[in-house]
Amino acid sequence: MLDPQLDHTHDAAVLSWVASANDPATDFPLQNLPFCSFRRAGTLEPLRVGVGIGDQILDLSAWGIADLNAVMARPSAERRALRHRLFDTLKAGAPEVALVPQAQAEFALPCRIGDYTDFYTGIHHARAVGRLFRPDNPLLPNYQWVPIGYHGRSSSIVVSGTPLRRPRGQVKPPDADVPVFKPSARVDCELELGLFVGPGNALGEPFSIDEADEHAFGLTLLNDWSARDIQPWEYQPLGPFLAKNFGTTISPWIVTMEALAPFRIPFTRPAEDPQPLPYLDSPAHRANAAFDIELEVWFKTPAMSEPTRLSRSNLRHAYWSLAQMLTHHASNGCNLQPGDLLGTGTLSGPAPEEAGSLLELTGGGKQAFTLPNGEQRSFVLDGDQLGLRAFAVKPGFRRIGFGACDGTITACLSA
């Protein structure tokens, strides 16, 4: 991906007339300006496109913007121009306009998600899970050559805060001759980021790795819930099905690629590893296609008053870049469309405390973790809340956050 030119909208010295946006701990300073879809809580108002600023929302209906997918479809130059206009509207000294407190808002999915593709870019997660499922062959030979992905179900993507029912599926215990259909006892999280597609490409017309920036709109936090006891029995040969399709939780906020420009870093591979094929490689891509974004997993049981952090990782651990995900997806002529969502896959790091799933944290469920109040867990029980957080920090720039991505598992319905 080509590094966008940093401009005045990244200047950390510029403050906002919105006081909460100047708090160093806020997710949404003036330099972020993430998009969302919302309405006032307790009303039946139509959903509106909004922009986060501190603890407030700027309603874009007065700007004639009622469809975020239409904004996503615009060329990158027009998206930058909109960012500049938003920045100038909200910076200190500009005339103040009416805002909506986030605490008084009800959020929906930020845009219409036509298609959802989940990738598998976290090599540390791939190796860890592979050792559990295939001890003799943890990393399949294609992993270091091709960005692995599969098509998920967009209809069960939900916004942060939406409860999800415990899934059912076929489970085959190791000592059983036949499987049984039952509620999952091993519901897990997956720490991911989701990439929203901006302008699409026509059917049959791929684009180059250096054109991928034009097709990337922004990132959101994504928890691709998994039923680990259902998955091993069903995933071969076509991949997971009921183990995944019961729900995927995302943050209500989309942080734009323009906001994340200061946090780009070089994309590198170990010298001894296969290097990407030419269609997934270029000097410009190697220069700045990776991102330094911190990622966290938080956990809260019904008996806890506050959540506790379980692990912390980083997008820089991804083996495949966001640009490579986009380019490979369209390389055979597949037509991506504005609002399509591409999950990164679980973004674990190399250390045990950087695990992006409970499966890794517990060694396949064999070693329960102890919470601050003394409770123990291996997987998610009914009533437990799993939360993801993300932020980017760099000296000389404002902290850019992603908001909350929280979900609670509730009891499954009776058969």
End-to-end CA distance of the chain: 49
Give bridge partners of residue 265 from the DSSP assignment.
290
Residues 6 or more apart whose CB falls under 8 angstroms from that of 135 comprise none
Q: Return the H-helix or E-strand segment holding 313.
A: strand 308-314
> Please, what sign has the CA dihedral across residues 222, 227, 231, 234?
negative
CB burial of 153-189 (b: ≥16 within 10 Å; e: otherwise) equals ebeebbbbbbebebbbbbbeeeeeeeeeeebbbbbbb
Catalytic residues: 125
Query: Token digits for 407?
Result: 């979900």
Sign of CA dihedral 275, 278, 284, 290: negative
Judge contact between 26 and 53, C-beta under 8 A: no
Beta strand 116-119 with 149-151: parallel, antiparallel or unpaired?
antiparallel
- Cis amide bond preceding 237, omega within 30: yes
Q: Residues 6 or more apart from 46 whose CB is under 8 A from it?
A: 39
Residue 333 burial (C-beta neighbours within 10 Å; 0-12, 13-18, 19+) = exposed
Element housing 51 (H / E): strand 48-53
- Alpha helices, DSSP H, located in 182-242: 231-234
d(CA 354, CA 311): 5
Closest CA to 63 of 79, 92, 85, 45: 85
Local structure of 252: helix, strand or coil: coil
DSSP element (H, E) containing 171: strand 168-171
